[in-house]
Structure 1
Amino acid sequence: MATPLSADKLLKALRDEGLHVVEHRSWRTNNRNHKGPWGPTHGVMIHHTVTSGTASSVELCYNGHSALPGPLCHGVIAKDGTVHLVGNGRANHAGLGDDDVLRAVIAEKALPPDNETNTDGNRYFYGFECVNLGDGKDPWPAAQLLAIERAAAAVCRAHGWGERSVIGHLEWQPGKVDPRGFTMSSMRTRIGKRLDGSPDGPSQPPPKPTYEPFPGASFFTAGRKSPIVTAMGKRLVAEGCGRYTVGPGPAWSTADRNSYAAWQRKLGYTGTAADGIPGKSSWDRLKVPNV
C-alpha cells in the first residue's frame, strides 16, 4: 500500500531515472478524481495506444473521447522514448480487473490467470500508454522499450516496489491484449535488473528541433486546434499555396486542407496523394517551424 506520488515527485522520479519528460498542458490537475478514489497505489500498468503519431496520441490520452473521458493514463511513452505526462490522479486506463491479480501484485508474487472483472484498477495503478498500433507488426524501437523499463522502474523505486508490481493490461482484464509485441515477463526482467542498480540520473533534454516533427495524419481532423496548424498555414502561404480568406489560424479547416492540397500538387503529387491530408514526406519538405 502506498500514497500516490505528488506531481512533483512523479516528475522527479522519472527524470532521475534518465528519462526525457514533457509536461503536457495542465497535466497536474487533469484527472478523474471526481468519479472515484485514487489510491492507495499498488503497481504500474503498461498499455499500447492503438494509434500512430506522437502529438495525436498525446492529445487523445489527455482528452479521451466521448465514450471514455480523459486522462486515459498518466504518461504517454513515444517511440523516441520521450514520456509525455498527461494526468495526475485517477485515470481511465485500467478498468475493471481481477482481484486475485491485485492481491498477487500487492504480495509481489507470480500472477494468476485474469478471469474476473470485479475490481476497480483505475484506483490502484499508475498507467503508461505506449504509442503503438498493437497489431503485432508495428515495431517497438529500442528507445521506447528502454523508456518503458525506466518509467516503470522509476515509479517502483519511488515506492520501494519490485518488478512484480509492474503488469500489462492483458494480465489484468480478460480479453485485453496490450501491450502486444513484447512480453511482460521480459520487461519485468529488465526492470528488476535496473532496480538492482542506481538510477541513471537526470537526462539532458534533447535540443529542440528546428522544425515541427510530423504529428501523424490522424492529427489533422475536424475540431483540432493547435499552434502547429497555424504554423503550417503560415508556411503554406509563404510557399504560395495559401487558400485562405481569413487566417491561417489554429483550428484545422477546409481552407487548411485546400491549401495543403495545393502544396502537395506543387510537389508533384496527384489524385488521392494530393487530398490535402499531410503526409510525412510533404510535411518534412514544408519545414514547419517548431512551436
Structure 2
Amino acid sequence: MSSLPRVDWATAAATAARLTPAGPVPGPAEAAAVVADLRDASVRAQAYVREITRMDPPGSRRTYVIDRGSWIRANLAGFAEVFDGPDQAGSARIREASAGVMAGAVLSVLSPRVLGQFDVFHGLADPAVDRGRLLLVAPNIHAITGKLGLDGADFRLWVCLHEETHRVQYGRAPWLADRLAELVRVAVSAGPAASDHATDAITALMSVVEGHADVVMDQVGPQVIGTLPTIRARFDKRREGRPGLARILGRLLGMEKKLAQYREGAVFCRSVQRLAGVEAFNRVFDSPDLLPSLAEVRDPDSWIRRVRP
C-alpha cells in the first residue's frame, strides 16, 4: 500500500480563499432574521427527525450557522484529520502544494452551492472534542430561497430535516465516521483492486445515509411543511443537486458519478422499511458488519435475508 497524499493544507486554504466567489450580502436586519430562523428550524427538526427515525442518540445537538469561508475551513480541518491523523498533524514533513491546490479548488467550486452539512470528521483525531457538528451555510440557503421563489421558513426547515437526520445517524453509530475515514484512506492510497473495493463500499455507505435523509425529509415534510411539493419540484430541477460530503468526496476521489446516486439509497431505505419495518432498517447503524454492500443496496431483499435474526 502506498502512502497517503501529503496535502499542503495552507495552500488549500489560500486557493479556496482566492477562488471562492463572494456570497449575497443581505442587510443586517434580514441577515439576523435568517440566522435566527435557521437556529429555530434546527431545533424543531431535532424532534421531528427523532420521532420518525425512532433514534435518539446522546451527544451535542449544537448547530453552527456559518458563511462560505467557515464551511471551507471546517472541511479542510476535517480532511486534515483524515489524511494526517493525530500523530502527523502539524508535523514538519514535506507536503505537496499541488494536492492543496486541488483540494482548495474543489471546495471553492462547491462552496456557493452547499446548503448544509453534518461535519462527520470533526473531532476524528481528538477524543477530547465532541464528534461531528452540524453546519448550515446561511448565505447559500438565503440565495436559493430567493432564486427558486420558495417560502423561506419552509425551505429552511426542509434543509434542517436532512442535516439533522445525518446528526442522528452518526450519533447512533459513532463508528460510522471512522469507517468512512478508513475507506477514504484506502481509496486514495491502495492499489487498483483495493481502491475499487473501497469506492464501492463508500458508494454503498453514502447512498444509505443520503437516501435515508431524503426519505426522512419526505416522511416528516407533509406534516409540517405546507409548500413541500413546490420545494421538491423546484429543487429537483437543479442539476447540481444538494452538494455535501458525498459531492466533496466524489470530486476529490474521482467518483462523483457513483456518489450522485442517492436514489438507490432512498429506494433501499423505503423498501426495507416497507418489508421489515423502521427498526429493521435502523440495524444498518448497529455495526460495520450490518452495513449493506453496494449489491445489497440494489437488492434490499438480500440484505434483509442476511441480517434478519
TM-score, with structure 2 as normaliser? 0.31
Could you say which structure has the higher strand fraction?
Answer: 1
Could you say which structure has the higher helix fraction?
Answer: 2
TM-score, with structure 1 as normaliser? 0.32
